[in-house]
Structure 1
Amino acid sequence: MKIAFYGSSLLSSYWNGAATYYRGLLKALSQLGYEITFYEPDVYDRQKNRDIEAPDWCSVVVYEATHHALMQVAARAAEADIVVKASGVGFEDEALLRAVLDHARSDALIVFWDVDAPATLAQLRDEPDHPLHRALQEIDLVLTYGGGDPVVWAYRAMGANECVPIYNALDPETHHPVASNARFACDLAFLGNRLPDREARVGSFFLDPAAQLPEQRFLLGGSGWGDKPLPANVGWLGHVGTRDHNAFNVTPKAVLNISRDSMAANGFSPATRVFEAAGAGACLITDAWLGVELFLKPDEEILVARDGGDVAEIMQALTPVRAKAIGQAALRRVLADHTYALRAAVADAVFKRHLTHGTVEAAE
């Protein structure tokens, strides 16, 4: 079974939060027998900041950011049994969607895989003429990496035939406990790129508590923060590649997850970082969002903060012993319930159900 997957980037996590999600899911799907080709545009200097080389479980085609090159790779959709267009590819997304729909075989399963459903749905509500409205009539299946029932209901209301969340998860081969690294030594660390719909929450949940706790050391990782005024006890690391994520998660007493505005408002949207940190055995503090208890148990496997005041209180009371216990409990939980192998099994079942149903209809 061949999959043509058109996404942002498999090879680089640079300005690309979906990288580890793609890697974990597609590797697990390949282990189920799928033959996958991933098509990614050469944009945003991602190819200059690769985290991995082309893997043996997936073919990767990097194409130039030109309309001609886009049309060439879109034509290869005709080779696949399953054609996936992801959201946020980053170069002529609307043209790419139209082109892969036009080139896909009539018997192929067409999937729109939304890695930022709250943002996509908000755009669709604001733009009644957005091309995705019409494309949903031609798409067999919408998959999302979060959102729960609110996203499912919203997509169905907009005409999607079916919408299924395939949540972020853990790849134990890439994210796991390692030795600590002095570079990341601190009390609380946060890793995230500077984005317009996250910045205010980073100020509230991370920078404000740092200012309240001058005796503690805080570390900020991620791109775009270079000109942001920071409290004296906050160090900025810049981009932290995926090869360093385990040490970044393991070394601090605790690490922080801060959802973007849309994800927090929607709920049921655990970031990749939640599972990566838990997989390394980190003590994770997260901002509060609806549905967190479905993934990790508050106060035992994760600590939940309603605001920056809660973060400061947690950090004042958190001992190394308790932090380690929470991290170990989180590690046990994600290994049992939240691996990409389990997520891929869900996707596999959905694919097979659709393909079998399509074959029956065609025969009739």
Structure 2
Amino acid sequence: MRLAFYGSSLVSAYWNGAATYYRGLLRALAERGYQITFYEPDVYDRQKHRDIDPPSWCRVVVYDGTVEALKRVAQEAAKAEIVVKASGVGFEDELLLAEVMAAADSAALKIFWDVDAPATLADLKAAPDHPLRRALSSLDLVLTYGGGDPVVDAYRVLGARECVPIYNAVDPETHHPVPPDPRFVADLAFLGNRLPDREERVEAFFLEPAQKLWQRRFLLGGSGWHDKSLSPNVAYIGHVPTADHNAFNTTPNAVLNISRASMAENGFSPATRVF
């Protein structure tokens, strides 16, 4: 069965925490016989920070970040029995949804896959005329990255026919112990990109304790923290490629996971980067 998936990026986790989630899900589907094509725009320098080459189990189509290129790849949805538009693609999301679903065959299964349901639902509630809100009733299914009953109920109220959370999992082929790496030596480490509804909680649970425990070594990974005021015992290492995630999680004495505020308010929505 052919599956057309329109997402942010499969090959790059740069400013794209959903990459590891996509990879695990789609590889598992490929092993079950699905023929998958992943369409991703060339935006935010993601192609300059690739973590992996296009995998053997999935055809990857990278298109220019232009409306013309978007419309061209959207037409390829007509070839698939299952058509998926993910949230947070990062370029003309509303237009992409409209073009992809309009091009899809009438018999195709049409899915909106929300990898950040708390943020999406906040946008929908604030904008009664939001294009996604108008489109929900025409889609067959909404899948979400976590969220639990609050997210399911909210999507149903907004007009979704059905909403099913699909949680991530630990794949032993991806997540496994590796030897410690001196680059990641620390008493406590945190990996996460700098986002508005994450920053305050990172300050409270990570940076403030670091100020009080000056004799301990803290390690901060992720994009966007370069101009953040940090105490001397916090080492900032920037973007951490997925190839280094196991070493990052194996080496420190402890690794901290911090749910964003919107996730904490909307039921069980664990971070996409499993450790």
Question: Same fold per TM (> 0.5)?
Answer: yes
Q: 1:33-52, aligned counterparts within 5 Å?
A: 33-52=33-52
Unpaired segments of 5 or more residues in structure 2? none
CA contact (8 A) 2:188 2:254 kept: yes
Question: Residues of 1 paired with 2:48 and 2:171: CA distance?
Answer: 25
Shift of 1:172: 1.6
Structure 1 position 10 matched with structure 2 position 16: no
Identity of aligned residues (%): 72
Question: Residues of 2 paired with 1:200 and 1:41: CA distance?
Answer: 30
CA contact (8 A) 1:169 1:272 kept: no
Counterpart residue identity of residue 128, structure 1 = P
Question: Residues of 1 paired with 2:143 and 2:232: CA distance?
Answer: 43
CA contact (8 A) 1:42 1:63 kept: yes
Match of 1:332 in 2: none
Counterpart residue identity of residue 250, structure 1 = T
Match of 1:214 in 2: 214
Match of 2:261 in 1: 261
What TM-score do you get using the length of structure 1 for normalisation?
0.75
* SS of equivalent to 2:197: coil
* SS of equivalent to 1:77: helix
Shift of 1:171: 2.2
Write the deviation string for residues 16-75 of structure 1: whole angstroms up to 9, x where unpaired.
010000000000010111100000000000000000000001000000011111001000
Question: Residues of 1 paired with 2:66 and 2:22: CA distance?
Answer: 24
What TM-score do you get using the length of structure 2 for normalisation?
0.99
Counterpart residue identity of residue 143, structure 1 = L
Structure 1 position 19 matched with structure 2 position 23: no
Query: Which consecutive aligned stretches of 4+ in structure 1 deviate over 2 angstroms post-superposition?
Result: none
Question: Residues of 2 paired with 1:162 and 1:64: CA distance?
Answer: 33
Match of 2:155 in 1: 155
CA contact (8 A) 2:71 2:99 kept: yes
* SS of equivalent to 2:113: strand
Larger Rg over CA atoms: 1
CA contact (8 A) 2:2 2:35 kept: yes
* SS of equivalent to 1:90: coil
Match of 1:343 in 2: none
Match of 2:85 in 1: 85
- If asked which structure has higher relative contact order (CA below 8 Å, sep 6+), I would say 2
CA contact (8 A) 2:151 2:267 kept: no
Unpaired segments of 5 or more residues in structure 1? 278-364
CA contact (8 A) 2:149 2:267 kept: no
Question: Residues of 2 paired with 1:247 and 1:58: CA distance?
Answer: 26
* SS of equivalent to 2:40: strand
Write the deviation string for residues 173-206 of structure 1: whole angstroms up to 9, x where unpaired.
1221000011101100000111111111000000
Q: 1:85-234, aligned counterparts within 5 Å?
A: 85-234=85-234
Question: Residues of 2 paired with 1:106 and 1:88: CA distance?
Answer: 25
Counterpart residue identity of residue 81, structure 2 = D
Shift of 1:267: 2.3
Write the deviation string for residues 272-291 of structure 1: whole angstroms up to 9, x where unpaired.
23x3x1xxxxxxxxxxxxxx
Question: Residues of 2 paired with 1:52 and 1:175: CA distance?
Answer: 15
* SS of equivalent to 1:52: coil
Question: Residues of 2 paired with 1:82 and 1:99: CA distance?
Answer: 15
Counterpart residue identity of residue 182, structure 2 = A
Shift of 1:266: 1.2
